[in-house]
Amino acid sequence: MNFFLRWLIFAALFLPISIIAQTTGVDSVASARRDFLEGKSEAALATLDGAEKRGLTSGKLTELRGYIFLEQGKFGDAIKAFEAAKAQDRLTYNRLHIGDVLARQGQWEDARAAYQAGLKETDILATNERLRFGVFIANLGLKNEEHARQALDLITFPTESATYYYAQAAWAFAHGSKRDGNDWMKRARDLFAGRSTDWFERHLYDFGWLKSKPPPISE
């Protein structure tokens, strides 16, 4: 009898059903995330569908579905998924995600409004920093030099995330300073190695400043 089968028997006999379901749900999200990052979006969605059919719904599961839809360009479905995730788990932050969906479509006014609304709702530092970066990027997209500069000035050094470095890089790229932009990005990658920089780089890629497409955002 292999270890996994023994564990299932033990779980069925001794563990509360809620704990088993929670563990299986976490495993499903992790498995789907791996498939998604490997470019197997349909397989990832199938895993999430299977989990939901077994009643293993969660904010993280639905949020991952939103990320997949975003990467597939199914923007309406992505927004619905992010809104549903927020209803299931308040720790999933849909204002940031919805701003990202709108930014991906170049809907800069609406994206800026979503990011700005988010700033009034969270005191989580890392999320707050991303939202400020989003406001700044949206102003760059609107080609609003004055507001972009004001938004950049609000991203002060140091930041917990790579926000400060990527904001400086974006400003440099937007003003034709490719060398400075690359220098700021290199610093960010060196300082925040092993921590998520893909979210920032996807915004720069969408502006055409990066040649290589970053990995999909999955958290």
CA separation (Å) from 134 to 39, 99, 166, 172, 204? 26, 8, 11, 16, 11
Select the more confidently predicted residue: 153 or 124: 153
Distance CA 109, CA 14 (A): 54
Q: Under DSSP, is residue 216 helix (H, G, I), strand (E, B) or coil?
A: coil
pTM attached to this predicted model:
0.85
CA dihedral 147, 152, 155, 157 (to 10 degrees): -150
pLDDT at residue 94, as a whole number: 84
What tens digit of pLDDT does each residue of 149-208 get?
A: 999 999 999 999 999 999 999 999 999 999 999 999 999 999 998 778 999 999 999 999
pLDDT at residue 7, as a whole number: 47
pLDDT at residue 6, as a whole number: 57
What tens digit of pLDDT does each residue of 75-122 get?
A: 999 999 999 999 998 877 889 999 999 999 999 999 999 999 999 988
